[in-house]
């Protein structure tokens, strides 16, 4: 009986711990061919109300961790230019005592690729940091894989 109670307690505590992990950003991915050998990969961040995600183009390393995309080399495609983002909100943040560029609600990043075959799977990783007016979460990394057909 004690063993059952111990197992039940462990399962309950692990459930509680997992349910309290904050994940204010949800990521989704898609791709669209724009020509016979070109495509755009779309990486969308949906951000919970009150939270924000930092731009790739922060002007200083003294503030929050900027959003960074990395794509491993592939024989199926090559990157064309840098990952693009829309105009960010620029505002002074007391937490960092500086102006920072960030996004609220949602943002779509775009990476143009040149295809070396009819289909490809674009793989990458995004590192990012999120904050609200009370706290910042540690930087996180998400790997993604987007089929281009």
pLDDT at residue 5 greater than cutoff 60: no
Boundaries of domain holding 100: 24-148
Query: pTM for the complete prediction?
Result: 0.84
Whether 5 is in a domain gets the answer no
Strands of the sheet with 120-128, listed across from one edge? 68-70, 120-128, 140-148
Query: What is the pLDDT, as a whole number, of residue 39?
Result: 97
Structural domain tally of the chain?
Answer: 1
Whether residue 9 lies inside any domain: the answer is no
**Band of pLDDT at residue 117, cut at 50, 70 and 90:** confident
Domain membership of residue 94 (yes or no) is yes
Residue at 111 is within a domain: yes
CATH code (residue 60): 2.60.40.1250
* 109 lies in some domain: yes
Strand (E) or helix (H) holding 16: helix 2-19
User: 3-state SS of 78-107?
Assistant: EEEEEEECCCCEEEEECCCCEEEEEECCEE
Q: In the structure, what pLDDT confidence band is assigned to residue 14 with cuts at 50, 70 and 90?
A: very low
pLDDT computed for residue 20 by the predictor: 58
Give domain status of residue 17, yes or no: no
pLDDT tens digits along 36-69: 999 999 999 999 999 999 999 998 888 999 999 9
Q: How far is CA 63 from the centre of its chain?
A: 18
């Amino acid at each position: 009986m004690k063993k059952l109670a111990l197992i039940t307690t462990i399962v309950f505590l692990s459930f509680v711990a997992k349910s309290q992990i904050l994940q204010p950003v949800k990521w989704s991915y898609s791709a669209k061919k724009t020509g016979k050998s070109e495509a755009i990969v779309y990486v969308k961040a949906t951000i919970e109300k009150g939270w924000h995600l930092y731009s790739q183009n922060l002007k200083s390393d003294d503030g929050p961790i900027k959003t960074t995309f990395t794509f491993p080399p592939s024989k199926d495609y090559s990157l064309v230019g840098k990952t693009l983002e829309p105009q960010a909100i620029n505002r002074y943040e007391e937490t960092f005592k500086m102006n920072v560029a960030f996004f609220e609600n949602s943002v779509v990043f775009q990476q143009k690729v040149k295809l070396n075959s009819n289909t490809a799977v674009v793989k990458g990783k995004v590192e990012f940091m999120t904050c609200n007016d009370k706290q910042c979460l540690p930087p996180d990394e998400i790997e993604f894989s987007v089929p281009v057909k």
